[in-house]
């Protein structure tokens, strides 16, 4: 039996999600012409202030903040910030732009989204159904052992999707993506059972990179031009290449995925970013 939706009077006005956090990816390039016009004193002050902002301390700190050098010409550096409040996420960007170094920063790209638990993450019951479909006999020792293991890790899986800890990996990449809405390849017109089957295949490909790559999918539907944002952290950049290549062959990706620009970076402190970019 369906339950009636709560009346709008009972829903509090809030910018804080009922589950999950806001997430912001921001990318910048240094304007060297502006930098050459700054005095040595201002450049020293700018370096110090830049480092302090990226330390993410004090009253203005967000729940998560990471900075990284971006390779290539799309940007010089980027930040990823997460917090329950969207304006705290964006405040990191605003502090950078209002800083002494702000006049020499050119925003290049941004993506704002929300963390979520995907509808394709199986419940314990659904996981059991997948095991049975894969040939496991319900009630067998092997089946029960796998069910018990999944029960133990499911809460942590959901927590990591909503309130992720950033891994201590040196390399990362980010890209936005959509699911196709074309005749014959319309993800949203495909029955859930088929979408669930394809996403289960996708998940099996991803799990082979456990211990090498950590992935976070955030949703931009209704917020951004792209529907999802994918952040990958790798113990080595070669693992980023391998996981993306491997998963491109999965049906969910090969048939239905559309990808935006890739931004690849290497985790760094504020001082390391400035040194790498020769901002002295």
- How confident is residue 5, by pLDDT bands cut at 50, 70 and 90? low
Torsion sign across C-alpha atoms 53, 269, 157, 215:
positive
Tokens found for residue 195: 């979408």
Instruction: Inform me whether the pLDDT recorded for 3 exceeds 70.
Output: no
Three-state SS for 82? strand
Structure confidence at residue 60 (pLDDT): 85
| Burial of 103 (C-beta count, 10 Å sphere; 0-12/13-18/19+) | middle
Three-state SS for 185? strand
Structure confidence at residue 151 (pLDDT): 84
User: Average pLDDT for residues 216-236, to the nearest whole number?
Assistant: 97
Summarize pLDDT for 204-221 with one digit per residue, the tens. Answer: 899 899 999 999 999 999
Over the chain, what is the mean pLDDT?
92
**Contact (Cβ atoms closer than 8 angstroms) between residue 218 and residue 228:** yes
Phi, psi of 79 (to 5 degrees): -135, 150
Structure confidence at residue 2 (pLDDT): 43
- Return the ∠ at Cα 23 (arms to 18 and 28), rounded to 5°: 160
Tokens found for residue 40: 């040595």
Summarize pLDDT for 124-181 with one digit per residue, the tens. Answer: 888 888 788 778 889 898 888 888 888 888 888 889 999 999 999 999 999 999 999 9
User: Average pLDDT for residues 240-248, to the nearest whole number?
Assistant: 96
Q: What is the largest CA-CA distance in the chain?
A: 74
User: Average pLDDT for residues 250-259, to the nearest whole number?
Assistant: 96
Structure confidence at residue 263 (pLDDT): 98
- Is this model's pTM higher than 0.75 or not? yes
Summarize pLDDT for 77-130 with one digit per residue, the tens. Answer: 999 999 999 999 999 999 999 999 999 999 999 999 999 998 887 778 888 887
Structure confidence at residue 1 (pLDDT): 45
**Contact (Cβ atoms closer than 8 angstroms) between residue 181 and residue 188:** yes
**Cα 232 to Cα 216: distance, rounded to the nearest angstrom:** 7
User: Average pLDDT for residues 33-51, to the nearest whole number?
Assistant: 93
| Domains of the chain with bracketed CATH | 22-115+267-276 (3.30.70.1030), 124-266 (3.30.70.1030)
Is-catalytic flag, 175?
A: yes
Catalytic residue (one of 175, 239, 245, 266) = 175
* Residue length of the chain: 280
| Burial of 273 (C-beta count, 10 Å sphere; 0-12/13-18/19+) | buried
- Nearest Cα neighbor of 231 from 273, 272, 187, 264 is 264
Summarize pLDDT for 6-23 with one digit per residue, the tens. Answer: 555 667 899 999 999 999
- Dihedral (C-alpha) 88, 89, 95, 97: value to the nearest 10 degrees? -140
Lowest-pLDDT choice from 35-39, 51-55, 97-101: 35-39
End-to-end CA distance of the chain: 66
């Amino acid at each position: 039996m369906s339950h009636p939706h709560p009346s709008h009077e009972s829903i509090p006005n809030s910018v804080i999600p009922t589950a999950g956090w806001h997430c912001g990816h921001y990318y910048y390039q240094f304007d060297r012409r502006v930098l050459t016009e700054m005095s040595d004193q201002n450049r020293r002050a700018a370096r110090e202030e830049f480092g302090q902002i990226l330390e993410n301390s004090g009253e203005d700190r967000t729940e998560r903040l990471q900075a990284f050098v971006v390779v290539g010409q799309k940007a010089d550096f980027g930040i990823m910030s997460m917090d329950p409040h969207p304006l705290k996420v964006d405040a990191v960007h605003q502090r950078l732009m209002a800083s002494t170094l702000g006049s020499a920063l050119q925003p290049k790209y941004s993506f704002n989204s929300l963390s979520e638990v995907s509808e394709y993450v199986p419940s314990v019951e659904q996981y059991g159904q997948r095991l049975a479909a894969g040939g496991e006999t319900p009630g067998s020792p092997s089946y029960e052992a796998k069910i018990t293991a999944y029960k133990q890790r499911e809460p942590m899986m959901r927590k990591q999707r909503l309130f992720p800890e950033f891994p201590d990996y040196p390399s990362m990449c980010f890209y936005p993506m959509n699911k196709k809405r074309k005749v014959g390849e319309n993800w949203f017109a495909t029955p859930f059972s088929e979408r669930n089957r394809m996403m289960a295949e996708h998940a099996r490909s991803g799990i082979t990179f456990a211990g090498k790559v950590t992935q976070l999918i955030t949703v931009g539907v209704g917020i951004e031009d792209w529907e999802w944002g994918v952040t990958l952290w790798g113990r080595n950049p070669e693992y980023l290449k391998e996981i993306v290549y491997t998963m491109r062959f999965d049906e969910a990706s090969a048939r239905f995925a559309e990808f935006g620009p890739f931004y690849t970076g290497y985790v760094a402190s504020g001082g390391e970013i400035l040194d790498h970019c020769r901002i002295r």
